Each structure stands twice: as structure tokens, then as C-alpha cells.
Amino acid sequence: MTIIFLSNYNIPNLHFTSSSFVAPPFTSFQKYPTPPPLKRFSLIRDPPNRFSVICFSSVPDGMDTAASTSLYPFHRSKTIHLVRHAQGIHNVEGEKNHDAYLSYDLFDAHLTPLGWQQVSNLHKHVHETGLAKKIELVITSPLLRTMQTAVGVFGGEGYADGIDAPPLMVADAGNSNHAAISSLNSPPFIAVELCREHLGVHPCDKRRSITEYKSLFPAINFSLIESNDDILWTADVREANEEVAKRGMKFVNWLWTRKEKEIAVVTHSGFLYHTLSAFGNDCHPSIKSEICTHFANCELRSMVIVDRSMIGSDAPTTNYPGKIPSGLDLPSDVAAEKHPKQGASQ
């Protein structure tokens, strides 16, 4: 049984209101339009054998709606593979003393040696499961620890001079003590500001200039980031949880402007927690918990997002119209309605 994870808006089953809102490509989320009040998306955990359609069934009186089976057209869905970055130096120091998060020694925190081991293990997992071959796009937060995680998990193997493709990461990028990583046989990578961690106050969440990043991660696309310097982070104001959640919904809206159907997103614990907390309130508490529980370092969870408006209006690629060649095909039950006397005599 497939279970829909609804957002926290009250939307009656099978009465979905479409919206004319279409999210344009963005360069800075400060200029990004606020999404309409109606949340159009649902989340489901991606099962081992994925169903081709999902949408609500009618529910008999007295039956728990959270346990109802669901159907929806497959081409109006996307699979997203959500990953929290591997262990960073700020995770270690913050565990010892929370005040360490205020230290500029942790500016744009990079991965620890343990974090790189976590990356290596997840890299093996996505290849052993065949997931690496399915992913069409990798979206990463433009911070050192998330980009190191993204290229280490979803990138190619070691890079060698003379290869006719830029590396995803140069050797020793960001104090990594790690070999260069190739972009060969890898999906495209793009950096997106919308999926950053809480902004402000903590130097570990402040990014470097895009110019510096481009020299460290030559094959990552930074074209959607408007400002070279980090104009979003402020030293004296920490972004509120509600603001992170709102930014997360803008990010989900933006995903529907992408043509890719299977996307990996490498981001942060706070961003994931507050974004996903908007979903699953109509589900069984155990399922709500499964969606919203804080991610461990380098944890991957696969979800399906469903567009219940017309934003994701791509034509289906697997549907087949039938009647080729054309011929009579009146169903028997329809024939009985069309010829009631004949049907009654049989």
C-alpha cells in the first residue's frame, strides 16, 4: 500500500484546487515569489517496487484516512533523494560545547576524516543499489561540507590529468586531504542557495565567495547564485525556524520547474527537518515521525513528491493511447447501458 504524506493544509480528498502560480527560475531567494497558500505537494517514501500511480481513494465511513490506499499519475511525480552532509568539524566541536558554533575557526566548516569515511560508504551504497545510475541531477547547498559530500557520494572516481572533463573537486579542496574527484560518468551538479542551513550568527553556515568555490569545484554549476559574496548571512540575526520552513517550500516549488524526474539533494539537518515538518500531518504518527526525524550525518532518505496542481504538467512518457490500429472496443458494462433491453434479455 502506498501512503500519501500530506502537507499541513486541510485539503479534501479528490478535490484539489489547481493554481496558476508558476515558479520562475530564481537567482536569489530574497527575490523569489511567495508560493500560494495552497500547498500542492505530497510526500511518500519511495518503496522498493515503486507503483506507477498515486492518488486518494474514497474512504468508507469509520475508516482511518491515514491508512487509505492512494493513486496518482506517475508523470506528475518526482523522486528526490535527500542527503544530509557528512560529519563536519563544527559537528564535533559543537557536540563538545555549543558556544563553539560562534567561533570563526569553524567558518564554512569542512568535513572531518570520519566524514570522508561516511561519504565513501554512502558512495558504495548508491552504486551497489543502482541508485547512482538513476539520478539525473544533483542539487547541493553551496557550502564546503555539502559540496564535498555531494561530489564524494555522487561523483566519479579519482581524477587524472589529461582527462577531457573538469574535475568535480580539485585535490585537497577545503583542507580535505582528499584526491581530486572526476566528473566523468556523473550527473550534472548545481549549487542552490535555497537549500542552505539556517542563515546568520554561526560562522560555520557562512559561505565563501563563488569565485573561490569555482576554483575548488570546477564542474559544479554556480550560475543560479546571484552574488559572488555571501549577502544572505548576517552576524547578528539567526534565521527563524519558520523562515527556514518557508524557504524550504519555495525550494520544493522550484523543483517543479526542473525537467529531471529523479534528483538528489545534498543539504543540512535544520533545513531538512523544518522543511519536511510541513508534511505528514494527516498520516499515522509513526509515518510522520519517519519523515521528520532529524537526519544523521550522511543519511539518505528517498521520497516521492506529487504535484496536485498543473505545475508539473509534463506529458507522460510511459502511457500508451491504445486502439492502434483502431477498432470497436465498447466495454460490456457500457454496452449494457447503451442497449438496456438487450442486456436485460441476456
**Radius of gyration over every alpha carbon of the chain, rounded to an integer in angstroms:** 23
Whether residue 337 lies in the annotated active site = no
Question: pLDDT at residue 124 above 50?
Answer: yes
Catalytic residue among 93, 193, 197, 239: 197
Residue with cell 509515518: 287
**Predicted pLDDT at 157:** 76
Higher-confidence residue of 283 and 208: namely 208
301-334 burial, b at 16+ Cβ within 10 Å, e below that, comes to bbbbbbbbbebbeeeeeeeeeeeeeeeeeeeeee
Sign of torsion over alpha carbons 83, 229, 171, 108: negative
What's the confidence (pLDDT) of residue 307?
Answer: 79
pLDDT at residue 339 tops 60: yes
With 70 as the cut, is the pLDDT of residue 293 above it? yes
Is the pLDDT at 37 greater than 90, yes or no? no
Mean pLDDT, residues 264-280 taken together: 94
Q: Is 284 a catalytic residue?
A: no
> With 90 as the cut, is the pLDDT of residue 89 above it?
yes
pLDDT, position 331? 85
Question: What pLDDT, on a 0 to 100 scale, did the predictor assign at position 51?
Answer: 34
Q: Which of 75, 81, 85, 90 is catalytic?
A: 85
- Has residue 151 got a pLDDT over 90? yes
Q: Return the pLDDT at 1.
A: 26
Cβ atoms of residues 145 and 153 within 8 Å:
no
- Average pLDDT in the 7-36 region? 36
Backbone angles phi, psi at 301, to 5 degrees: -130, 130
Give the pLDDT score at 341. 66
Output 131 or 285, whichever has higher pLDDT: 131
Distance separating alpha carbons of residues 185 and 133, to the nearest angstrom:
9
Architecture per CATH, 74-307:
3-Layer(aba) Sandwich (3.40)
Model pLDDT, residue 122: 98
Each residue's pLDDT tens digit, 219-258: 999 999 999 999 999 999 999 999 999 999 999 999 988 9
3-state secondary structure labels for all residues of 153-209: HHCCCECCCCCCCCCCECCCCCCCCCCCECCCCCCCEEECHHHCCCCCCCHHHCCCC
Domain extents for the chain?
A: 74-307
The 10s digit of each residue's pLDDT in 154-188 is 998 766 666 778 999 999 999 899 999 999 999 99
**With bands split at pLDDT 50, 70 and 90, how would you rate the model's confidence at 61?**
low
Handedness of CA 204, 210, 214, 220 (dihedral sign): positive
pLDDT of residue 161: 64
